[in-house]
Structure 1
């Protein structure tokens, strides 16, 4: 699942305190964004991906048209997960581009395999603090988690992005714990599956940690 390419490597202050890099940047269309992907020079692609991430976030937070923000939230639906991955999946884990990729990847993975993600989330239910931060309706099903990840993405463009990163991290922590518990239950009956699921849980935990670091970096102004 594409989300696992992203797995590696809190105070809600307003993003208004961050210096604005551009004066109301022109919002790119998904067709224009797609042209950033597939570039030949990795350094140029990386730099373009970073500039794009900052422009999208700044533009989304100053954009009055809800349809534009809706298109930003639906980038994966419009471009496809592979194109979005080409844009941002190889960005540093603790970076704006890398953190945005993790939000989209979590959203896409939840939408594609909602039953499994809901089962893992319920299995990680004992992670009370993380569960509360994530904000899912209890008990969550596939549709509730899809709405949750959509709300988190919306928050990245319409509210406080560091809070969005923390909510996504909390969600990932709960699911990771659930995957670990499912893996423990499978150790005797399906040991290979248990090992695979344990590795997924470890990668997802890494995703949570990277998002938490990105939230801190955004607040202190160090997130590239």
Structure 2
């Protein structure tokens, strides 16, 4: 058991690859583990909706920088790594809500799986609803079943990967560089989907670090 069609704006690679340095081997990993579990345990134990909303809202302001410093290098086998990926998805959606909504819609149209149902975006998919979806996924971490939240995020990422690939195909004949950027983004979302799905399994097995 677990522990108690406008061209979309592409974020710089740094937004996906923030790193933390340390002079002590293993220090960053230990800090990431301790802070992520402490936050999760604290918010769940309090069970106060206002506290949940404040923690969910970290991605909407400068709190994302503090999260990045603590968790950005945490691996996908860890709770910190899972939380970082969820907060990053929320931040990306906030920075380019219109482009993210467009990418999601394209992915949902191309999907032949139940991922649109699992992700559960409100229809019609709008910039506001896509940000709200990311908030709902994060809220599920602190006030619901974490494994279900991770599975929902994995479905979201699979749809985003499909949407990015679709946009890459449409741009291929007109802008090779932009198409290449979109293809890279599709691969990144696909990797996130696999990691989040594996994280959900680890949570259920009680093996998430």
Superposed CA deviations along residues 94-118 of structure 1, whole A, max 9, x for unmatched, are: 2110000011000111011011111
Query: Match for 2:150 among 136, 156, 165?
Result: 165
Does the 8 Å contact 1:94/1:211 carry over to 2?
Answer: no
In structure 2, the partner of 1:181 is: 166
Q: Does 1:138 align with 2:123?
A: yes
How far does residue 208 in structure 1 lie from its aligned partner after superposition? 0.7
- 1:64 matched to 2:53? The reply is no
Residue 5 of structure 1 is aligned with which of 2, 14, 17? Answer: 17
Relative contact order higher in (CA < 8 Å, ≥ 6 apart) = 1
Cα separation, partners in 2 of 1:4 and 1:38, compared to 1, 3 Å: closer
Give the TM-score of the pair, scaled to structure 1: 0.81
Return 5+ residue gaps in structure 1 as ranges. Answer: 7-36
Give the Å deviation of 1:78.
4.7
- List 4+ stretches of structure 1 deviating above 3 A: 37-40, 77-80
- 1:193 maps to 2:178: yes
1:10 maps to none
1:136-177 CA distances to partner (integer Å, 9 max, x unpaired)? 012301100111110110100001001111111111110110
Out of 28, 52, 73, the position equivalent to 2:56 is 73
Runs of 5+ unmatched residues, structure 2? 1-10
Deviation string, structure 1 residues 11-53 (Cα, Å, up to 9, x no partner): xxxxxxxxxxxxxxxxxxxxxxxxxx77643512210111111
- Matching residue of 1:205: 190
What residue in structure 1 maps to residue 77 of structure 2?
94
Is 2:59–2:90's contact at 8 Å kept on the other side of the alignment? no
**Contact 1:63 1:69 (C-alpha < 8 Å) held by counterparts:** no
Q: How many equivalent pairs are there?
A: 194
CA distance in 2, matches of 1:116, 1:42: 39
User: What secondary structure sits across from 2:174 in the alignment?
Assistant: coil
